[in-house]
Structure 1
Amino acid sequence: MHIVASNVAVTRAAGRMLAPTSLEVRSGELLVVAGDPHDGHTALALVLSGRMRPGEGTVHLDDDRSPAALRRAVSVVDAPGVTEPDGAVPLHDVIAEGLSLAGRRSGRRSVRTWLHERGIADRAKDRFEHLPHPERTRVLVDLARLPRTTGALVLDSPDRHGTDPTAWHPAAAEQAQRGLAVIVLCAPHSAERLDIPVARIGADNIPRSTPDSPEGAA
Structure 2
Amino acid sequence: MKNNIISLTLLLVLSCNSQDKRPLVGKTEYQQKLNASYKDASTSPLKKKDLKNFKGLDFFPVDSSFMVTATLIRTENAPTFQMATSTDRKPLYKEYGVLKFNLKGKDLELTIYQSQDDLRDEKYKNYLFLPFTDNTSGNESYGGGRYMDVMTTDIKDNNTILLNFNNTYNPYCAYNDRYSCPLVPRKNHLDIEVKAGVQVFEKH
TM-score, normalising length: structure 1: 0.27
Larger RCO, structures 1/2 (Cα 8 Å, 6+ apart): 1
TM-score, normalising length: structure 2: 0.28
* The structure with more helix, counted as a fraction of residues: 1
